[in-house]
Structure 1
């Protein structure tokens, strides 16, 4: 049994029926949202083709991206078509590129910077929670900081499920998070570091939740991404600056020359690291942190907000928030030097005529 849908992307054929909800919605609605999202991002079907979804299965959205890139591609699981772009009205198993994922092959997700076997699973009441869990972790970046990767995934999963059941949008979560971010900034300025840490911690977890909620429920929006990434980009230097001014309430304010060095290091170092990342992306068409394994491992601890908060937290445990800020400044300088060296090395490799290829692409080719 099949049904046809008309979407902004073009004709969509749904195979089968499935009443089991996923992330609070029917599988047919999830697939429709994926098609509309693809259209909103400029994707389109080839002339005379239709998109195919099998409602029996839930799958990683990466597969939809890949079939839209190559008309005539169908992903299957043990001979059952899962998702594909095929000539209208034809048997999907006769398509030009039929790829069976049940052999365990891994694919590289450039958006999330990771190499893994895409999730494909039959959606039933017994498998629903496992599928939600796998789709949630499937939305995690493979290359990120140590807190996001190891500390709060489980907590964020619970909050993402609650938000989905309450029909909250990612933007609602973002607004709550931004409010807590501003509150943390104010508390740091007043030297209320522990309270500020609590507010900042909740904000950092929600900063994960809004993105995962958007990906899992297929409700990403242009302005939501702008707000989310804009706040992430702008707020860290303000936290470090007001952490420094708040030291006066502890009687630990830094001398003028030391404070000037620290602020110059954390602000200039942060901005220059972002510039280096931008240059690498522009010139080599990939994130600097996925070039070599070292770069991916260094991303766990590089001087971004979350690793820097670990430094401040440890210093606060010993009652020395001033030393924590100085250590943060030196770590920012060290991270900047590492990134500058890696950028210079990449340019040297390119000048020698060798291609700049991600180690994940190489691993995918060897799989």
Structure 2
């Protein structure tokens, strides 16, 4: 098995850890040995500690023996097949010098628009790579952070949270917090928000919910940026994301009486039934689309990606409830969420049916492949 070798040294901490430690964590995540000789033919994957780079580059070149990623001629990652290739690439990395022309390695230069295929989004992109020092640290962390935004998401996560979450992610990394610690704090706030909604304290509930929703972004970004993702951490995070929304909506409905704007029993029953059933069925539709076509329904066509910004998920629903409460009518907000959930369900059901019909004559491909 090809081993990964960190090359050189760097005193600049990247997300609170050295680049050497980061490369070692990436290697463990890829289930590749770190600095253990190499294969019988001398194949090794060298990674420069003088640079910060997106983990996607390491995964990419791990599958491409004989290729080297360069920045300004200096090798950043090199998959060497022989001892002479390794000696030349390692010397250039240590010296910060351009790679000689006669190494036999195929150069992939960042300046030439080197790119890779993002399997999740089905599109080509150029992950970041740059020299890491005190002057470039903030830019490198910013590039790493926004590089962790993979996928299509809602309008709050895309437009409102990023800068807030970047600050909190940096703080968490500096003080040594783990993603699970962030998730646990968010989970506590999520529960407290539920109790606040239940008693009609909508503003305090939304304030706690807002912090929880931002932390829901922070824990994932912290895990990716510090390379500390774990199986149980993902279960913890995604389990909370999946389970808590129905409890919020029920608590909101119950709290209307304490707030002084109760719905009639029938209106409350049908609103909550539509919201919860619609939430579950939409999740099932998304799962069916993924199983049938090996991609998220939200990346099929541009209309699907655009609709994901506002579809009836937690964050867009909270926007509806916020403005309704601002108008003094949280009861109208719950009814509006029920109506929007029903419309979103119809949209996704129609899209799944259209995909099934189209798949009879043509493959289902993401619009992002051509973006």
d(CA) in 1 for partners of 2:187 and 2:257?
26
Instruction: Give per-residue Cα distances to partners, 1:267-301, cap 9 Å, x unaligned.
Output: 11111111111111111111111111111111111
Counterparts of 1:24-63 in structure 2 under 5 Å? 24-39=16-31, 48=41, 49-63=43-57
d(CA) in 2 for partners of 1:46 and 1:285?
34
Number of the residue aligned with 1:5: none
- The residue matched to 1:277 in structure 2 has which SS? helix
d(CA) in 1 for partners of 2:302 and 2:51?
34
Number of the residue aligned with 1:169: 178
* 8 A contact 2:6–2:24 mirrored in 1: no
Q: CA deviation at 1:85?
A: 3.3
Number of the residue aligned with 1:359: 367
Number of the residue aligned with 1:207: 216
d(CA) in 2 for partners of 1:126 and 1:39?
33
> Which stretch has the larger CA shift, 96-105 or 211-220?
96-105
Q: CA deviation at 1:102?
A: 1.7
Counterparts of 1:298-309 in structure 2 under 5 Å? 298-309=307-318
d(CA) in 2 for partners of 1:95 and 1:148?
45
> Which stretch has the larger CA shift, 275-284 or 248-257?
248-257
* 8 A contact 1:113–1:142 mirrored in 2: no
Q: CA deviation at 1:334?
A: 0.8
Instruction: Give per-residue Cα distances to partners, 1:114-134, cap 9 Å, x unaligned.
Output: 753210111111001110111
* 8 A contact 2:61–2:67 mirrored in 1: yes
Number of the residue aligned with 1:228: 237
Counterparts of 1:105-184 in structure 2 under 5 Å? 105-111=114-120, 116-184=125-193
* 8 A contact 2:198–2:252 mirrored in 1: yes
Question: Which of 1 and 2 has greater Rg?
Answer: 2
Q: CA deviation at 1:59?
A: 0.7
d(CA) in 2 for partners of 1:298 and 1:97?
42
d(CA) in 2 for partners of 1:307 and 1:357?
27
- The residue matched to 1:22 in structure 2 has which SS? coil
d(CA) in 1 for partners of 2:121 and 2:241?
17
* 8 A contact 1:171–1:210 mirrored in 2: yes
* 8 A contact 2:186–2:212 mirrored in 1: yes
d(CA) in 2 for partners of 1:193 and 1:47?
65
- Aligned: 1:219 with 2:231: no
Number of the residue aligned with 1:75: 69
Q: CA deviation at 1:88?
A: 5.2
Instruction: Give per-residue Cα distances to partners, 1:85-137, cap 9 Å, x unaligned.
Output: 33253526756754222223444433477753210111111001110111111
| TM-score, reference length from structure 2 | 0.89
> Quick one: which of 220, 243, 259 aligns to 2:252?
243
- The residue matched to 1:12 in structure 2 has which SS? strand
Q: CA deviation at 1:17?
A: 2.5
* 8 A contact 2:123–2:369 mirrored in 1: no
d(CA) in 1 for partners of 2:284 and 2:308?
16
RMSD of aligned C-alpha atoms?
2.1
User: Which segments of 5 or more consecutive residues in structure 2 lack a partner in the other structure?
Assistant: 33-37, 90-98
* 8 A contact 1:86–1:95 mirrored in 2: no
Number of the residue aligned with 2:277: 268
Q: CA deviation at 1:71?
A: 4.2
d(CA) in 1 for partners of 2:53 and 2:147?
10
Q: CA deviation at 1:69?
A: 3.9
Instruction: Give per-residue Cα distances to partners, 1:38-59, cap 9 Å, x unaligned.
Output: 118xxxx987532220122111
Counterparts of 1:265-344 in structure 2 under 5 Å? 265-344=274-353
Instruction: Give per-residue Cα distances to partners, 1:187-209, cap 9 Å, x unaligned.
Output: 10010000000110000010011
> Quick one: which of 96, 99, 111 aligns to 1:102?
111
- Aligned: 1:349 with 2:343: no
Residue 276 and residue 84 in structure 1: after superposition, are their counterparts in 2 closer, same or farther (change >3 A)?
Answer: farther
d(CA) in 2 for partners of 1:180 and 1:85?
46
